[in-house]
């Protein structure tokens, strides 16, 4: 009769089995190693320049005066824009915008110079392609800079012609000066804005695919009667193994790649480690719960693909969570990625202390209990079903999970 292994031996054998399930599965390795490294290198590449450079604009000059020409020269001199065309009509300008020959448009109205020198209100029309908000912002910033500078100059000239004191004019023309210093995005670039949140999403989604696939394939092996470790050992070890693997990748993402792309990060190592531990544990339990429900491994990938874009637009960084319908905001909190993204951004980019993340921590702990409890419930339900089938001499369990429980 074969001797049963002692508890330490059983634990070691179960740990070896989990390592074999992960590191001998090419599909899982491709997701963990290939996917994480591929996305970390590929995703930020289009945004390496961080901010858009000089953008081409068209100018329609209905005034054709000295002051209008001066405004055009000042706009062309700004670092954000260059005057690439001077169409004669709005139809010609719209064609240039539609063909991407230019990304912005300035329209100088008739009687512009006369109205400015007489102190009458006058309007400059700005237009641009708002499909790319950084390019649009660059165009508008350049045009506003030129128009504001010209406006200040004309006010100074008008004040001097009235005989006012030159020492008092600057304070009268511009009594308040705005000096803008971005606090958390020094370059005002896309990399610092989007990459930290997307990195968290990549870690979350690849962990769902890997841990969910391993769980489904393990169910299939147990259903076929192949040797397997008891579930009360296999599942906790699976969570521990994946959490350790992803903690290493988190160090790579939030350390090496943040340094490589010049992304500011302010979290203390211990705060980042503790929050990462909670986030990956919750995500892994969510993945195992999905693996207990889904019949085929590829369905996990389908779910990840379908939910990725909704997560981006409901996580609170691309669109304010306060502007979402309340029911949608609460519903998306059931996915660990949302509180995880909000917590990592506050901790790593905004420099918030861990103690201030009470809401995010409470949500992740609640999800950890929810999906952990759901997994235990599935185990017990399927165990009772298997026992009932055995009592009635049923030829096979009613589900693949039932064949794996009650070791």
Query: Do 252 and 330 reside in the same domain of the chain?
Result: yes
3 domain residue, yes or no: no
pLDDT of residue 396: 46
Query: Do 201 and 306 reside in the same domain of the chain?
Result: yes
Query: Do 204 and 353 reside in the same domain of the chain?
Result: yes
Query: Do 116 and 252 reside in the same domain of the chain?
Result: no
Query: Do 127 and 144 reside in the same domain of the chain?
Result: yes
pLDDT tier for residue 207 given thresholds of 50, 70 and 90: very high
Window from 16-20, 186-190, 291-295, 374-378 with minimum mean pLDDT: 186-190
Query: Do 291 and 368 reside in the same domain of the chain?
Result: yes
pLDDT of residue 180: 64
Residue where one domain finishes, among candidates 110, 142, 173: 173
Is the pLDDT confidence value at 3 over 60? no
Across the beta sheet with 81-85, what order do the strands follow?
81-85, 55-61, 104-108, 125-128
Is the pLDDT confidence value at 399 over 90? no
Tokens 């910033």 belong to residue: 141
Share of the chain above pLDDT 90, in %: 24
Query: By residue range, what is the domain housing residue 145?
Result: 55-173
Per-residue pLDDT tens digits for 367-394? 999 999 998 888 777 667 766 765 665 4
pLDDT of residue 40: 86
Q: Let me know the angle formed at the C-alpha of 149 by 143 and 150, rounded to the nearest 5 degrees.
A: 90
183 domain residue, yes or no: no
252 domain residue, yes or no: yes
Is the pLDDT confidence value at 155 over 70? no
Query: Do 89 and 207 reside in the same domain of the chain?
Result: no
Q: What is the mean pLDDT of the chain?
A: 81
Is the pLDDT confidence value at 168 over 90? no
Domain count of the fold of the chain: 2
pLDDT tier for residue 131 given thresholds of 50, 70 and 90: low
Tokens 């055009």 belong to residue: 72
- As a whole number, mean pLDDT of residues 152-161 equals 64
Query: Do 42 and 60 reside in the same domain of the chain?
Result: no
Residue where one domain finishes, among candidates 122, 144, 173: 173
Query: Do 142 and 237 reside in the same domain of the chain?
Result: no
Query: Do 208 and 291 reside in the same domain of the chain?
Result: yes
CB 123 within 8 A of CB 56: no
181 domain residue, yes or no: no
- As a whole number, mean pLDDT of residues 121-138 equals 73
CATH code for the domain of 90: 3.40.1710.10
pLDDT top residue among 24 and 281: 281
Backbone angles phi, psi at 162, to 5 degrees: -85, -5
113 domain residue, yes or no: yes
Crossing angle between the packed helical segments 269-293 and 298-314, to the nearest 10 degrees: 130
Is the pLDDT confidence value at 229 over 60? yes
Window from 156-165, 214-223, 265-274, 398-407 with minimum mean pLDDT: 398-407
pLDDT top residue among 248 and 233: 248
Highest-pLDDT range among 278-287, 368-377, 395-404: 278-287
178 domain residue, yes or no: no
Query: Do 36 and 59 reside in the same domain of the chain?
Result: no
3-state secondary structure of 256: helix
376 domain residue, yes or no: yes
pLDDT tier for residue 162 given thresholds of 50, 70 and 90: low
- As a whole number, mean pLDDT of residues 128-133 equals 69
Query: Do 140 and 260 reside in the same domain of the chain?
Result: no
pLDDT of residue 401: 45
pLDDT tier for residue 320 given thresholds of 50, 70 and 90: confident
Window from 126-140, 228-242, 276-290, 390-404 with minimum mean pLDDT: 390-404
HEC assignment per residue over 230-252 = CHHHHHHHHHHHHHHHHHHHHHH
Q: Which residues of 193-219 are buried (b: 16+ CB within 10 A; e: fewer)?
A: bbbbbbbbbbbbbbbbbbbbbbbbbbb
CB 75 within 8 A of CB 83: yes
| Furthest-apart CA atoms within the chain: distance in Å | 113
Backbone angles phi, psi at 55, to 5 degrees: -110, 140
Q: Let me know the angle formed at the C-alpha of 176 by 171 and 178, rounded to the nearest 5 degrees.
A: 135
343 vs 283: CA distance, rounded Å: 14
147 domain residue, yes or no: yes
């Amino acid at each position: 009769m074969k001797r049963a292994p002692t508890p330490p031996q059983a634990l070691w054998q179960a740990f070896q089995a989990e390592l074999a399930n992960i590191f001998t599965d090419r599909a899982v390795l491709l997701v963990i190693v290939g996917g994480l490294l591929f996305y970390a290198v590929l995703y930020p590449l289009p945004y390496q320049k961080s901010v858009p450079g000089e953008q081409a604009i068209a100018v329609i000059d209905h005034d054709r005066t000295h002051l209008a020409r001066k405004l055009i020269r000042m706009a062309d001199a700004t670092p954000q824009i260059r005057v690439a065309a001077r169409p004669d009509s709005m139809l010609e300008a719209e064609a240039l915008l539609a063909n991407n020959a230019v990304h912005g448009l300035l329209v100088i109205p008739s009687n512009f110079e006369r109205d400015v020198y007489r102190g009458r209100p006058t309007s400059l029309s700005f237009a641009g392609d708002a499909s790319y908000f950084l390019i649009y912002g660059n165009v508008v910033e350049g045009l506003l800079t030129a128009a504001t500078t010209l406006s200040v100059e004309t006010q100074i000239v008008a004040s001097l012609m009235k005989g006012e004191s030159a020492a008092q004019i600057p304070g009268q023309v511009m009594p308040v000066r705005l000096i803008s210093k971005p606090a958390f995005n020094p370059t005002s670039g896309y990399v610092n804005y989007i990459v930290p949140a997307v990195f968290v999403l990549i870690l979350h989604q690849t962990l769902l695919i890997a841990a969910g696939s391993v769980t489904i394939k393990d169910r299939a092996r147990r259903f076929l009667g192949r040797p397997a470790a008891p579930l009360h050992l296999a599942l906790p070890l699976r969570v521990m193994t994946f959490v350790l693997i992803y903690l290493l990748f988190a160090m790579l993402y939030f350390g090496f790649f943040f340094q490589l792309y010049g992304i500011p990060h302010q979290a203390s190592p211990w705060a980042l480690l503790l929050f990462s531990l909670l986030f990956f544990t919750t995500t892994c339990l969510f993945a195992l719960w999905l693996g207990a429900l889904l019949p085929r491994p590829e369905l996990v990938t389908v779910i990840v693909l379908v939910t990725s874009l909704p997560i981006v637009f409901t996580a609170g960084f691309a669109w304010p969570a306060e502007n979402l319908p309340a029911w949608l905001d609460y519903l998306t909190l059931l996915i660990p990625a949302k509180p995880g993204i909000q917590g990592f951004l506050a901790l790593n980019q905004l420099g918030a202390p861990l103690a201030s993340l009470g809401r995010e921590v409470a949500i992740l702990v609640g999800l950890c209990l929810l999906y952990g409890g759901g997994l235990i419930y599935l185990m017990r339900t399927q165990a009772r079903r298997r026992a009932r089938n055995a009592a009635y001499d049923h030829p096979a369990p009613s589900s693949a999970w039932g064949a794996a429980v009650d070791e």
